[in-house]
Amino acid sequence: MTVATLIDVLQPAIANRTAIAGLVVLGWEDARAYVEAADETGLPLILQAGPGCRNYTPVAVLGKMFRVLAEQARVPVVCHIDHAYTHEECAIGIDNGFSSVMIDGSKLPLDENIEITARVVEMAHRAGVSVEGEIGVVGYVSGGGSTMTSPDEAGRFDRESGVDALAISVGNVHLSTEKTAGIDFDAVRRIEAVTRSPLVLHGGSGIPPAIRRQLARETRVKKFNIGTELRMVFGDALRQSLADQPDCFDRLQLLGRTITPLRVEARNIMKALAEG
């Protein structure tokens, strides 16, 4: 069995000056492709089920699917709930086999964010499950602005919440289809100076690979959440599959052609982060 927690994969990344990919799952094809890529590279992986995925597929189904894939893998695989907003969502994830949860209280006042995160940490740690929290708000390309992470607030949150990983906002944005150079390295360094947890950047698709590697080598950013660039690979592969097979109505055959391109892209992402 290779089911792992964030502690299992992020602490070695600190020592190795590398980072781990948190790959966003939407269904069977991408989850399978990502685990195959992890096995091919020999690198650990974080499989992530976000709100959209959980709204489409029941958590009970996702938990079993993630565990089956993780238990068959030769490398550590973290089964992670991404962007849960309530204590109950985290509890449901833990009850259904997830080995890690993210409680996102970033839009709450600081005291409330610390309070709900600490309660989730207490529950999760009793079950041997790791917890990611967030301080500062990571916005979206299409709307919903960001709030940069305050180092003072990050330091207090890290000390008082007990999280195992800390997501921060330093110029990163969700759902970016284009690469930007907007990461504030000085802000990252101010935050890492007053915290002890591995740091996480959501919106990793918008960060150029070279900057992701530099962050992994030079800072305590050890987890990059990456979804959009892989969704784009899936979309292109599916369109090509439909164009190549205009008379095919077998969804298994149509969707099956997305697995190899996803595996190749996931492998490239993971290897680049491991170059250190």
Over range 139-152, report the average pLDDT. Answer: 80
Residues identified as active-site? 82
Count the Cβ atoms, other than its own, within 10 Å of residue 183: 22
What is the chain's percent helix, strand, coil content, to nearest 5? Answer: 50, 20, 30
Report how far residue 161's alpha carbon sits from residue 212's, in angstroms, rounded to the nearest whole number. 27
For the chain, domain boundaries: 3-132+200-274
Instruction: Enter the tokens of residue 43.
Output: 């690198």
- pLDDT tens per residue, range 23-44: 999 999 999 999 999 999 999 9
- Give the three-state DSSP class for 46: strand
Average pLDDT taken over every residue of the chain = 95
> pTM to 2 decimals?
0.95
Over range 141-168, report the average pLDDT. Answer: 91
Count the Cβ atoms, other than its own, within 10 Å of residue 264: 14
Q: Does CATH place domain 3-132+200-274 in 3.20.20.70?
A: yes
Cβ-count burial of 257 within 10 angstroms (0-12 exposed, 13-18 middle, 19+ buried)? middle
Report how far residue 190's alpha carbon sits from residue 156's, in angstroms, rounded to the nearest whole number. 13
- pLDDT tens per residue, range 183-229: 999 999 999 999 999 999 998 888 999 999 999 999 999 999 999 99
b/e 24-43 (16+ beta carbons within 10 angstroms → b): bbbeebbbbbbbbbbbbbeb
- pLDDT tens per residue, range 231-247: 999 999 999 999 999 99
pLDDT at 139: 76
Does the pLDDT at position 144 exceed 70?
no
Q: Band of the pLDDT at 146, cuts 50, 70, 90?
A: confident
